Homo-oligomer: A and B are copies of this chain.
């Protein structure tokens, strides 16, 4: 088991969801970033990562790490001194690829600093940047063998607060690597598909791959990487855990596709309310339906439902009509009803 701040990773702890913010770190921007992190945490994010690339990042990173409601991770590449700085700035976890840190003694410096500060380390390997020494091997074997070698270094320095990730943009390679690593090691795994594409494409690839691994008991923390908005990564990660029954709490939205039967614009309504709904600290199902074919049936199964019919929007509570309002008043009526609970 690893521990980043107050978050346990592996060892039977709940699977956590993480994402990465690309906000450039600046002293003026730091309070805004802290509030952004709170919004992501409300959506279900458990851990947040930043690139740490220059000594100027230390002050804002330190502010963020000490004010964030969830553990903060520093992403380090190439320069071991940035890792040492991030650790000293209160990073709860750092992510490094020892293969691009350079000499082994530099990685040792990082590990010893982490040991002193109680910082967790993710050994983050990526099929796109493996060391020359394993270039002849198949990608999954190459990643597993490289990870085990680094874990050996870490253990020889007395360090075990480690998480491993073996990511590839190829779904089959990623799954094979995660399974092969799991057969050889109990270290917690961060799982994800790297360079997975835009929100919908990534959600498809990642959900299939990570869903399958998680259902086999592999994977302790997940990131669904997307070329797209950071909230979508969190929403997708949380939704995946909920779909797999690995996370119970939260709001489940069910909503109609477009079809010719619609008399209510479910797309616009869903888009307007989704973040607010998904940020509620409730364990409920909300149905957003556009017509009378499936609307009333689904409304009966949901805790709350909004079903449009002609010019009226009907608000249901467990299948019973609470109110009939205009489309403009539907959002307020829905959130008031939920708040009244």
Interface residues, chain A, with chain B CB atoms under 8 Å away? 20, 22-25, 50-51, 53, 75, 77, 100, 126-129, 169, 171, 194-201, 203-205, 207-209, 211-212, 225-228, 230, 232-233, 235-236, 239-240, 243-244, 253-262, 266-267, 270-271, 274, 287-289, 293-298, 301
Contacts and interface: CB of A to CB of B under 8 A. Distances in A.
Contacts of A75: 259-260
Contact of A267 (B201, B228, B259, B288): B228
A266 B227 contact: yes
Given A24-B260, A169-B254, A211-B208, A267 B227 contact: yes
Contact of A200 (B100, B230, B236, B297): B236
A270 B195 CA distance: 12
A212 B50 CA distance: 34
Contact of A203 (B128, B204, B227): B204
Contact of A195 (B225, B230, B298): B298
B239 A298 contact: no
Nearest to A192: B257
A209 to B, nearest CB: 8
Contacts of A258: 20, 22, 227-228, 230
A228 B270 CA distance: 9
Contacts of A274: 198
Nearest to A231: B200
Which 5 residue pairs are nearest across A and B when measured between Cβ atoms? A51-B260, A128-B297, A203-B203, A225-B257, A128-B294
A129 B204 contact: no
Nearest to A170: B301
Contacts of A239: 200-201, 204-205
A258 B196 CA distance: 11
A289 B207 contact: no
Contacts of A296: 128
Given A199-B200, A255-B195, A255-B197, A129 B294 contact: yes
